[in-house]
Chain A
């Protein structure tokens, strides 16, 4: 056995012991600290959703069906958990309307849950909508975000060929939609639906595989991640707009305008490609994010990146930071690590900031598959700003990078650029294609800005910007060495 491996195995055994003995590990880093928050030890901490109410109480939905709540306290081991509600089938979406009043998206429906008699536990469970089908497949989970007007967007996930469907299903069944690896045998799998305040449900956007996480940002844009898999060469981040199709074909069978009997899986790739809206940001699988879950917008109070987005990874101990760039009126942009290891659990599923913006709570689960990927954690900023890239803007002929601090001297080989593209097709995941090294020249134009000229900039490619040995003027090393910019359009 290789030495390194035996260390990591020993560390794993240790952490199993820690977790089961319900200890909270504190991992200090200079910038952001990750702590594990203890839940009642009797309950499997498979976290479907985390949300706050207006009084600062944290609600945690567990996937077997219980919803707990507690006011966060300084000691992560000592939250006083109370039981609020129970009985949900795979509760993977939650919004808090008011203290004692929540909305849960579970496998069969969207449910309004209320404590009407004020005894601290829910007593009323009202179905808001069950406008989608249920095939009996474990993979069909749902997530929600508010629409800003009292309604919700609902991300309805597809089914997986790793599980069966039933003889008797709820809702219409499509033999054609049932075909494929991840599939849409019953209605609205692979769609984003809109539930308006008055209870009307309308299809909003299609073509998703597993958009396990949906978010409305402070400007009113809707964002979804998706998971690498069939029709997803790597993990994408989508800007979701009404009427668009996002590339996974199975959901198309439920489009009211879809021709009867037409099989989306038999369409030529070219046709599908022409229909689809591309991801705003592509997150290289191995390097960045294997399976995006909930995106969150960074508030003030959490460090230098307020207004940017964080994207959890359901499949690694990482959180990705997204830096959007608006080019010709459309979002595209870049990504890098926010947390990579540092004691973060794997299985990142949901995230929510405390009202003061100082703490990010994360909920973790991988279908109950592993203790090391289940639980609640919290991340706080130390108050120290790291030396990092703050944003990347596409220019004519190159990029301008803004840093969080003044740059020090640059060696001639301090920056290199490589590019590649991805192809969206039936295969589960896909390689970086047409990889090439780019010719670059770069010069620090301003104290905290770096301009990189790239000789060959082409649309529909991902540009990898890599730094070597660069330091801030104050001597601090660069926190992240690699950045990926998804170039959908050139600057007009």
Chain B
């Protein structure tokens, strides 16, 4: 699963090698970095590092059919809403956050597996409820404690006003983020050092006092070039290893309604089909098995038997349910047993 091969962009196309293809593991290179704005993984950064974020909460399940809450809860998941991922090939990947205005974590030997967001090209669709990609590679730096950058001796975490992201420039292989803190404007550039797990971060400030740097983490060397310029070198070490999207065997435990439910969830069928009879992009699947279905362009209804349901998933356009669009439900490329399991699950929806 999770095809790791990125379709190569032909040089003759005139497109940069970093253009985003159908591949789920986009990569940059040392000369041509890839900058990706997407939901980013949150490797348990904690409330102190994410101090400028607000807290989400669980929320009661709601039925649009009833117009009221129903038993159950939506639980929040981990993720960073507005961070940026940057990749320089196998040498360096980092996550820089526009809310904290801060480098959050750094890894190498891989970047992101976008399957949760972009779907699996070999299967034709998105396959998860959340849209947060998975990390690939070896993490060797993770932010901890207060914001390490200081203005006038004070951590940016302690300024009354949060720092404000201003944008970035991207020229050649250089990416420079800028943000304001009080009346100062700070520029930050992250690059890899000469040895493994080594990082170099340059900070420059315009206006508003003296720049400082203080981290409680080991391995930091701070070189003051001038009152307005710092070079921080960080010698990290392996913190964790990530392998991308887990190669889940959805049919663990056999081909049955239980595993069909997992396939249904993994393929995100629920984005178009409710299970409670309420309307959505597609018909509700509640109780359809054994019922007569009105089919567009047909003069008599079709019986939703096993063959019908399997065909509906394999070839959505073969019989289009009256009142719903054709060319809308994606054709899936599932394993034979996964179709069977889906059928068994749909039969239980009564």
Q: Are A and B interaction partners?
A: yes
Interface residues of chain A, those whose CB is within 8 Å of chain B, are 1-2, 4-6, 8-9, 12, 40, 42-44, 62, 64-66, 80-83, 86-89, 106-109, 111-112, 117, 122-127, 130, 133-136, 138, 161-173, 175, 178-181, 185-186, 230, 265, 286, 290, 315-317, 346, 366-370, 372-373, 425-429
Given A2-B295, A9-B315, CB of A130 within 8 Å of CB of B98: yes
User: 8 A-B contacts, Cβ less than 8 Å apart?
Assistant: A42-B7, A64-B118, A166-B79, A170-B99, A173-B56, A173-B57, A316-B325, A426-B64
Interface residues of B (CB under 8 A from A): 7-10, 13-16, 18-22, 34-39, 42, 50, 53-57, 59-60, 62, 64-65, 67, 69, 74-82, 84, 98-99, 117-119, 125-126, 129-132, 165-171, 268, 270-271, 278-281, 295, 297-298, 302, 311, 315, 317-320, 323, 325-331
| Cβ–Cβ < 8 Å partners of B331 in chain A | 370
**Once bound together, how far apart are the Cα atoms of A43 and B67, in whole Å?**
41
Bound CA span A170–B81, Å: 6
A4, A43, A86, A111: the one contacting B21 at CB < 8 Å is: A43
Q: Is the CB of B81 within 8 A of A134?
A: yes
Contact flag A370-B54 (CB < 8 Å), given A136-B81, A166-B81: no
A167 contacts B55, C-beta separation under 8 Å: yes
Return chain A residues, CB-CB under 8 Å to B18.
Answer: 86
A168 (CB) vs chain B CBs: closest residue = B53
Q: Which residues of B contact A366 (CB under 8 A)?
A: 328
- Choose among B14, B165, B318, B320 the residue that contacts A83 (Cβ–Cβ < 8 A): B14
What's the minimum C-beta distance from A445 to chain B, rounded to whole angstroms?
Answer: 38
The 6 closest A-B pairs by CB, nearest first: A426-B67, A89-B37, A134-B81, A168-B53, A126-B167, A108-B82
Report the Cα distance A136→B81, complex, angstroms. 5
* A81:B14 contact, CB within 8 angstroms: yes
Are A167's CB and B77's CB within 8 A?
yes
A162-B270 contact in complex given A43-B21, A180-B62, C-beta closer than 8 Å: yes
Residue of A nearest to B59 (CB): A178
Q: With a CB–CB cut-off of 8 A, which chain A residues contact B10?
A: 42
A164 touches which of B36, B77, B325 (Cβ 8 Å): B77
State in angstroms the CA–CA spacing of A491 and B14 once bound together. Answer: 59
- Compute how far the CA of A107 lies from the CA of B55 in the bound complex, rounded to whole angstroms: 19
Chain B, residue nearest A346 (CB): B327
Number of A-B residue pairs with CB-CB distance less than 8 Å in the complex they form: 250
Q: Closest approach, in angstroms, between the C-beta of B5 and any C-beta of chain A?
A: 13
Instruction: Identify B279's interface contact among A180, A185, A428, CB under 8 A.
Output: A428
A373 CB → nearest B CB, Å: 6
Q: Give the residue name and chain of the A residue nearest to B307 (CB).
A: A1
Question: Complex: how many Å from CA A166 to CA B74?
Answer: 11
Decide: B76 and A107 in contact? CB cutoff 8 A.
Answer: no
| 19 other A-B residue contacts (CB within 8 Å) besides A43-B19, A65-B38, A87-B84 | A1-B318, A44-B21, A64-B20, A64-B118, A82-B14, A87-B36, A108-B37, A108-B81, A130-B82, A163-B130, A165-B59, A168-B81, A173-B54, A175-B57, A315-B325, A346-B325, A369-B328, A425-B67, A428-B279
Please state if A88 and B37 are interface contacts (CB–CB under 8 Å): yes
Q: Which residues of A contact B325 (CB under 8 A)?
A: 290, 315-316, 346
Kindly provide the distance from the CB of A311 to the nearest chain B CB, expressed in whole angstroms: 16
| B56 close to A165 (CB less than 8 A) | yes
Nearest opposing residue in chain A for B33, CB measure: A87
Contact A65 B14 (CB under 8 A): no
Known: A87-B36, A167-B76, A426-B64. A62 touches B169 (CB 8 A): no
The minimal Cβ–Cβ distance linking B142 to chain A, given in whole angstroms, is: 15
Q: Is the CB of A179 within 8 A of B318?
A: no
Q: Which residues of chain A have C-beta atoms less than 8 A from B126's C-beta?
A: 367-369
B326 and A42 contacting across the interface, CB-CB below 8 Å: no
B188 to chain A, nearest CB (A): 14
Q: Are B57 and A178 closer than 8 Å at their CB atoms?
A: yes
With A163-B130, A167-B76 already in contact, the answer to whether A181 and B64 are too (CB < 8 A) is: yes
Q: A125-B169, A169-B55, A180-B62 are in contact. Are A315 and B323 (CB under 8 A)?
A: no
Interface centre among B38, B75, B125, B325 (most CB of A within 10 A): B325
B168–A125 CB distance below 8 A: yes
The CA-CA distance from A163 to B80 in the complex, in Å, is 15
Of the candidates B14, B36, B56, B166, the one having the most CB atoms from chain A within 10 angstroms of its own CB is B56
A62 near B20 with CB under 8 A, answer yes
